[in-house]
């Protein structure tokens, strides 16, 4: 779990943590693929319960653009090839395996995304995949990274260096 932003504790500390909301987790097992943890922010154990996703208002979050990112990337490659038909086009792959853990939670709300497994209590300190606002909160970071990558890609010395 090299990209994780989680603080593990023994489970006996749970009663001493104010405002803890233990969210159910599961393990998704797909044949031929890596197993992955699932955080279920939509789980409602009883009809009177409130799940964490009901406590968040995605309408106040930034608009999500990463759904069109791949198509925009392909169009950019196409246009680069038209503009520079005989030059090498250097492409790179962005590692997004830890993308949803980059934005960090404020300590006063981190407990809302906590979960327990076996004899441990886990306190996530970064955005959680499964929360309905995590993709929205990642978007400003994605835009900043895209702007920085575009700016740095114009620096010819970086191509020679790397």
In tens, the pLDDT along 102-133 reads 667 777 778 877 878 888 888 888 776 666 66
d(CA 119, CA 29): 22
Is 115 inside any structural domain? yes
Collapsed DSSP state (helix, strand, coil) of residue 40:
coil
Is 139 inside any structural domain? yes
Q: 90: burial class by Cβ within 10 Å (0-12, 13-18, 19+)?
A: exposed
The pLDDT assigned to 138 comes to 66
Contact 139, 62 (CB under 8 A): yes
Quote the distance between the C-alpha of residue 92 and its chain's center: 20
The whole model's pTM is what? 0.53
| Cβ within 8 Å of residue 26, ≥6 positions away | 37, 38, 40
The pLDDT assigned to 137 comes to 63
Collapsed DSSP state (helix, strand, coil) of residue 116:
strand
- Please state the domain count of the chain: 1
Contact 104, 125 (CB under 8 A): yes
pLDDT < 50: residue spans in the chain: 1-2, 101
Is 135 inside any structural domain? yes
**Long-range contact set of residues 44-52: C-beta below 8 Å, sequence gap at least 24:** 52/21, 52/23, 52/112, 52/113, 52/131
Query: What is the span of the domain harbouring residue 14?
Result: 6-161
Is 80 inside any structural domain? yes
Is 1 inside any structural domain? no
Is 26 inside any structural domain? yes
Is 72 inside any structural domain? yes
């Amino acid at each position: 779990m090299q990209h994780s932003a989680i603080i593990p504790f023994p489970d006996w500390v749970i009663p001493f943590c104010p405002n803890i909301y233990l969210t159910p987790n599961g393990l998704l097992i797909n044949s031929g693929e890596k197993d992955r943890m699932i955080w279920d922010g939509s789980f409602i154990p009883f009809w009177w319960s409130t799940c964490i996703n009901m406590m968040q208002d995605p309408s106040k979050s930034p608009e999500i653009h990463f759904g069109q990112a791949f198509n925009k990337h392909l169009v950019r490659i196409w246009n680069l090839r038209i503009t520079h038909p005989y030059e090498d086009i250097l492409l790179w792959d962005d590692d997004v395996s830890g993308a949803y853990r980059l934005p960090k939670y404020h300590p006063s709300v981190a407990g809302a995304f906590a979960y327990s497994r076996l004899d441990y209590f886990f306190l996530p300190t970064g955005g959680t995949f499964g929360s309905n606002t995590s993709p929205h909160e990642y978007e400003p970071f994605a835009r900043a990274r895209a702007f920085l990558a575009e700016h740095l890609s114009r620096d010819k010395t970086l191509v020679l260096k790397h």
